[in-house]
Amino acid sequence: MHHEGDQLSDLDREILAFEQDWVAHAGTKDEAVRERFDLTPTGYHQLLNRLIDLPAAEAHAPRLVRRLRRRRTARHEERSARRSAT
């Protein structure tokens, strides 16, 4: 899916909104993702990871995007720490 300039698609904005308040949804996040976006958890996370790298996403929801980037970085560091520990 290609973005025109710095515009976020409706889906992009919806994903950001969902990330902001998914805790308010009943059930697990994976179930909520399937219901709301008809995406697998993996597909959703791939979309989300691309999305949080977009300047438009950061402009749209700066605190959320920065928090998600930090969480992603922490996960990467955890994974490589586990790999080097084996």
For the chain, the structural domain boundaries read 10-85
Q: Rounded to whole angstroms, how far apart are CA atoms 55 and 36?
A: 25
- Cα-based distances in Å from 53 to 8, 32, 50: 12, 23, 5
Q: Given phi > 0 = left and psi -120 to 50 = alpha, else beta, which region is 23? A: alpha
pTM of the model: 0.76
What is the rounded average pLDDT of the residues 19-38? Answer: 85
- Is it the case that residue 34 has pLDDT exceeding 90? yes
74: which 2 tokens?
């922490």
Say what the pLDDT of residue 5 is: 58
